Amino acid sequence: MKIAIFGGSFDPVHAEHSNIVRAALEKLGADKVIVMPAYIPPHKQGKHMATPEDRLQMARLAFAGMRGCEVSAYEINAGGTSYTCRTVEHFAEQYPGSQLYFLVGADMLRDFYYWREPDSILARAELVAAGREGEKVNFKAEQIRFLARFRKTFKTLEYVGRDVSSTKVRVLCAFGEDVRPYLSGEVIDYIESKALYRVEHVKAALAYLKPARRKHTLRVALMAAGAAERFKLPEQSVIQAAALHDAAKNLDLSAPELAGFVPEAGVPAPVLHQYSGAYLAEHTFGVTDEDILNAIRYHTSGRPNMSTLEKLIFLSDMLEAGRDFPHIEKLRAWFEKDLNECMYRCLRHQLRYLKKQGGPVYPLTARAFEFYAELSKKGGKTTKGDR
C-alpha cells in the first residue's frame, strides 16, 4: 500500500493544497493521502492566525469528498510542537509494510536538513518535493546535495502549483478581497462565519483610499506579510501597519479627522502624509502600538535605527510588486538577504533620485542614510535582536 503524508499549517487550506493531493494520488499512484494539520510547526511556534481546531475543520471541509484523501487530527490531538519524525514513526507503525511518502514544498526541501531527526524520517518514508510557480529551485543541484548528505535521493512530483500561499490568502481576507480563486466555497463560508483573518482597522482605513492607492497598499501588505515570519513579527501587526501606512495620503489637512494635527515645519509635501497618517491611526482608529505608529510615521522618510517593523514597511512601500524603476530587482534581492543593507541601498537610491530631480532632501532622510551607510561599512546585518 502506498501512503503519502501531507503536513502543514493549512492556515487556511487553499486550492493548491488540494491540487498537490490530487497530483500525489495520480503521479505517485498513492492509495491514500493523509492530510496532517500541525498543532504547532517547529518553524512557526504558534504564530497562526486561526486555532488548530479551525484549521482542522477547514481542512476537513476542503478535502471532503476527495476520494483517497483522509484528514488526520493526529498532530493536533498530540498537542505541542509537531515533529515530522514522530508523525512518520506513528504511521509506519499503523501501516506496517506500506510504502510511505512525505510531501514537502520546494521551500521546505531546502530546510529539511535542519529538521529534527531527518535520517529517522527517511528511514521510514521517501521524501517527495513539489514545486511552486515562481520558485527558483534547481532540483538537480538539490538532488546532489541531498545525496551527499543522506546517501539517497528524493522524488519530485511532476506538478508545479500556482504562486499561492496561505499568507497571501490571509492578507486578501484581511483586506476584504475576493478569495474565491484560492479557496473552496465551504472554506470561505467557514472563515466568514468565524470572522477569521480579520485585522482591526484595516477595512476602515481602506475606505480613505482611492482605487489605485488601495491596490498599492495591498501589494505593500503582501510583501511585508510575506517576510513577517522570517523576522518573527506578529503578522497582524505587519498587516495593520501596511494597511494604514497611506490612509492619510489623500486626506486634506482641514479634514475633521486631522483636527489638532500640527505638522512640523519644513516637512516636504511628499513626506507629510506619513505624519498625518500616524495621527489618523492613533486618534481616529485608536491604534496604541507605538511600533505600528512609528512604522506609519517614518515609512516615507526613514530615520536612523529603525525597528524591524519600520524597516519592513519602508522597504515594502518602496519595493512592492507594482513598482518599476532602474535597479529595483537588485534592491529586492537585498530585501531577501538583509534589511539593513537593503535600507542603505534604497536610501542611497532615493537620495540620488531626489538630487537628480532637484527636489528637496528631507534632513531626516539624510540622517537615515548616514546611519545605514555607516552600518553597511561595519557589516551590520539585520538580526532577530534588532529593534
For every residue of 45-73, DSSP letters joined together read TT--SS-HHHHHHHHHHHHTT-TTEEE--
User: Do 214 and 309 have their domain in common?
Assistant: yes
- pLDDT score for 134: 53
Query: Residue 45 above 60 pLDDT?
Result: no
Query: Residue 387 above 50 pLDDT?
Result: no
CA 345, 346, 349, 355 torsion: positive or negative? negative
Domain that holds residue 279: 199-377
Between 162 and 38, the more confident residue is 38
User: How far is the C-alpha of 185 from the C-alpha of 301, rounded, in Å?
Assistant: 43
User: How far is the C-alpha of 123 from the C-alpha of 40, rounded, in Å?
Assistant: 24
pLDDT band at 381; cut points 50, 70, 90:
low
User: Do 214 and 336 have their domain in common?
Assistant: yes
Query: Residue 171 above 60 pLDDT?
Result: yes
Sheet bearing 69-71, strands edge to edge: 69-71, 32-37, 2-8, 99-105, 125-132, 155-161
- pLDDT score for 122: 97
pLDDT band at 44; cut points 50, 70, 90:
low
Averaged pLDDT, 139-143:
90
CA 289, 293, 296, 301 torsion: positive or negative? negative
Query: Residue 352 above 80 pLDDT?
Result: yes
User: Do 215 and 95 have their domain in common?
Assistant: no
User: Do 147 and 206 have their domain in common?
Assistant: no
pLDDT band at 385; cut points 50, 70, 90:
very low
Domain boundary, last residue among 163, 191, 219:
163
User: Do 150 and 246 have their domain in common?
Assistant: no
- pLDDT score for 303: 98
pTM (two decimals): 0.92
Say if 82 falls within a structural domain: yes
- pLDDT score for 98: 97
Beta bridge partners of 40: 81
Say if 386 falls within a structural domain: no
User: Do 365 and 249 have their domain in common?
Assistant: yes
User: Do 124 and 256 have their domain in common?
Assistant: no
User: Do 204 and 157 have their domain in common?
Assistant: no
Domain boundary, last residue among 138, 163, 188:
163
User: Do 370 and 228 have their domain in common?
Assistant: yes
Say if 215 falls within a structural domain: yes
Rg (Cα) of the chain, in Å, rounded?
23
Residue (of 347, 337, 316) closest to 383 by Cα position: 337
Least confident of 73-82, 192-201, 207-216, 351-360: 351-360
User: Do 136 and 258 have their domain in common?
Assistant: no
Say if 132 falls within a structural domain: yes
Averaged pLDDT, 149-170:
88
pLDDT band at 112; cut points 50, 70, 90:
very high
How many domains is the chain partitioned into structurally?
2
How many angstroms separate the Cα of 28 from the Cα of each of 7, 118, 215?
Answer: 17, 22, 40
What does the buried/exposed string (b/e) look like for 115-128 if buried means 16 or more CB atoms within 10 Å of the residue's CB? beebebbbebbbbb
C-alpha cell at 321: 510588486
User: How far is the C-alpha of 217 from the C-alpha of 221, rounded, in Å?
Assistant: 6
- pLDDT score for 221: 98
Say if 181 falls within a structural domain: no
**Residue 257: left if φ>0, alpha if ψ -120 to 50, beta else—which one?**
alpha
Residues sharing a CB contact under 8 Å with residue 271, sequence separation 6 or more, in sequence order:
300, 301, 362, 365
Domain boundary, last residue among 163, 190, 214:
163
> Is the separation of the CB atoms in 317 and 330 below 8 Å?
no
With vertex at residue 237, the alpha carbon angle to CA 6 and CA 180, rounded to the nearest 5 degrees, is 50
